[in-house]
Amino acid sequence: MSIDISTDEDYTGLLKTITQDKLSDPADILDDLEESHDQLEVDMPGLGDAVREVSKGVSEKTSQEYSRLMKQCQAFLVGRGMISKGTQFFCDNPHPQAAIYIVAWIMDSCDLIRLDGTPVLEERSTYTHAQKMRAAATFGFGKMHGLGMQAWHQSEITGKMLGNPSVSETVSTYMLSLRRRKTQKGDTPISARAVSSDLLEDLYHFNNQPRYQGPQALQGGFHPARKGELGPRARALTNLGYDLAFCGLLRIDELLKIQLQDLTKSVNPQTGQAKISLRLPFRKTSQFGGESINLHIVGSLT
């Protein structure tokens, strides 16, 4: 029989953290949920165990790491009395409080606050590790037990909780608050290397080396392409994509939805300066689109 964390003083800090997290910006919560979708894309409801085993969607090494973390989560929950010893937390019928249990597991390992609300003095695991724990939970429910990436929600018909507990507002809002606390403490942000104009320039010169500009020779038989073996057009599109995202502060989903008709090119007849204009079909802050980005090109436009 599981304990009731809503009345247990040992979980005062957990409940307080979850309550405070409700004040998070809805746009930030949406971003976090979309990122969790990006990590695990394939939805597999109804497939057999054998198919799930060969369709994990991650490398064997990553699968082993996730399995290790899932066992760690199971042991934590049993040790805390949240689930009974014979109960499997990762299953196709999750506990109604599964999202809160995931938060408790991550909080116990990575947060600066204990589950009972007292401050932590010893060194804690990083935010990056917290992300791995969350990804393992998402993988466990979504891939191993066929719940996919459907958001955790209560059915209006049966009142039963459905979907993937890790893809929930509760977990997302907690992860956002944990990141803020880690950053305030001085931990290194997760984006260890920001994209800069110098980096984009290096990428441009790398992709425009003479050895990458000629047509690729056809070879007999099947030879899997090695990393980096892109043609000149693909490299030019890569450069353009990074430039558009950098200059327009585009999110990855906004960039990937750009189509050819959204781009126009022109040349000033007086100065000869080339320009590429992007008409965004939509933006997160402007769902009906209408915003434009202009890139002025130095040199020829081909």
Strands 274-279 and 292-297: antiparallel
Kindly report, residue by residue over 214-244, the tens digit of the pLDDT.
Answer: 765 555 554 555 555 788 888 888 888 888 8
Residue 239 token pair: 């450069």
Task: Give the span between the Cα atoms of 195 and 242, in whole angstroms.
Answer: 9
Predicted confidence at residue 46, as pLDDT, reads: 42
Predicted confidence at residue 44, as pLDDT, reads: 38
Predicted confidence at residue 283, as pLDDT, reads: 61
Predicted confidence at residue 94, as pLDDT, reads: 95
The residue written with tokens 């506990």 in the block is 95
Kindly report, residue by residue over 179-202, the tens digit of the pLDDT.
Answer: 888 888 887 655 545 678 888 999
Task: Give the span between the Cα atoms of 266 and 286, in whole angstroms.
Answer: 26
Domain spans in the chain, listed from the N-terminal domain onward: 9-185, 193-213+229-249, 259-302
Predicted confidence at residue 233, as pLDDT, reads: 87
Residue 4 token pair: 């009731």
Residue 152, Cβ density class (10 Å: 0-12 exposed, 13-18 middle, ≥19 buried): buried
Task: Report residues of the chain scoring pLDDT below 50.
Answer: 38-48, 50-52, 54-55, 192, 222
Task: Give the span between the Cα atoms of 279 and 294, in whole angstroms.
Answer: 9
Predicted confidence at residue 284, as pLDDT, reads: 58
Predicted confidence at residue 73, as pLDDT, reads: 97
Task: Give the span between the Cα atoms of 66 and 72, in whole angstroms.
Answer: 10
Task: Give me the residues paired with residue 200 across strands.
Answer: none
Which run of H or of E encompasses 276? strand 274-279
